[in-house]
Structure 1
Amino acid sequence: MEKVYIELKVVDGYPPVRVESVWAEKVAENVYKVSNIPFYSKQVCLDDEVRTSRGIDGEAVFVGIESDEGNSTVRIIFFGDNESLSLLILADLSGMGCSWEGLSKKFFSVNVPENIDFEQIVGYLEKKSEAGVLDYEYGMVRQ
């Protein structure tokens, strides 16, 4: 596994970083398969194959998508300190066929596979948002 570095567009201080790194597996010269769910990028998703170039220090730098698996990414931030409720919601998302990764106890990135009803996932999140439990945003959406 290697890191692939993705330059981000920062608007009004968000995201809080200018570059995100994702773990990726080399599949060909300058082509990598993304192995974790991005937290900030709106350019790639889990399992995408990405083209890279070499940076100043020899690092793999994202250039574009070679091929995609049709996955989409949604990011969630939970409000309050009810960790049990957060875990219950994440378990519900897993039960609907999604996978997730946490950056902190409140900030998560969710992968929605191509074969999962994206509108069902967003509808579920919207209900939780209306209840004041969380907020969400889209990363890369392909469905």
Structure 2
Amino acid sequence: MEQDKSERYVKIIIPLEQDEDGYPPAGSERLWALQLEEGRYKVDNIPFFARDLALGDIVSAIPEQGAEEGVLRYQQVLQPSGHSTFRILVQDEDQVPEVCRLLEPLGCGIERSHLPRLIAIDIPPSVSLEAVREALAPGHAQERWEHEESCLGQPATEQGG
């Protein structure tokens, strides 16, 4: 019998540093996480703004003072998942489906932001970062989108050098 997972999910607040232009557009990001044990949580959605975090990372967090029950403050990554996180900003919102068609067949996960032109991409360890970069290159060269590599995991298939 499957256990009700909703009781084990929490929101983790990730503080963000804004640059001189006010990016990212918030002082923090809230990510869903699955509680593994007290103080240890598995990130369960793709970060849109937090750097050096990826889907599946095991992180530590503590209760956020003054916040509602189940809201925690991020401390650190305890165990990287090996996943990578890219962000794509398309010039025209109508290009979002094209980006999805390019990356989903490679095995990437995609989440759309509340900002209509922003997409967060999860790249599992089994997916080649170079294949993702190559898929994005034509649109980038044509200035239809920009991408940021915010967290680079260690793919299981990566060769040492």
The TM-score, its normalising length taken from structure 1, stands at 0.92
% of aligned pairs identical? Answer: 25
- Structure 1 runs (4+) deviating above 2 angstroms are none
Letter of the aligned partner of 1:48 in structure 2? D
1:47 to partner: Cα distance: 0.8
Matches of residues 118-133 of structure 1 in structure 2 within 5 Å?
118-133=129-144
1:88 to partner: Cα distance: 2.4
Query: Which residue is equivalent to 1:7?
Result: 15
The TM-score, its normalising length taken from structure 2, stands at 0.82
Query: Which residue is equivalent to 1:41?
Result: 50
Letter of the aligned partner of 2:44 in structure 1? S
Give the 3-state SS of the residue equivalent to 2:126 in structure 1: coil
Structure 2: distance between partners of 1:60 and 1:89: 33
1:76 is aligned, of 88, 93, 101, to 88
Conserved? CA contact 1:30–1:60, under 8 Å: no
Conserved? CA contact 1:74–1:110, under 8 Å: yes
Aligned length: 141
Higher Cα radius of gyration: 2
The more displaced of 38-47 and 56-65 is 56-65
Structure 1: distance between partners of 2:59 and 2:45: 13
Structure 1 gap segments, 5+ residues each: none
Query: Which residue is equivalent to 1:90?
Result: 100
Conserved? CA contact 1:41–1:140, under 8 Å: no
The more displaced of 107-116 and 126-135 is 126-135
Structure 2 gap segments, 5+ residues each: 1-8, 155-161
1:105-131: CA deviation from partner (whole Å, max 9, x where unpaired): 311000011111101111221221111
Structure 2: distance between partners of 1:114 and 1:127: 23
Structure 2: distance between partners of 1:113 and 1:80: 27
Structure 2: distance between partners of 1:80 and 1:54: 39
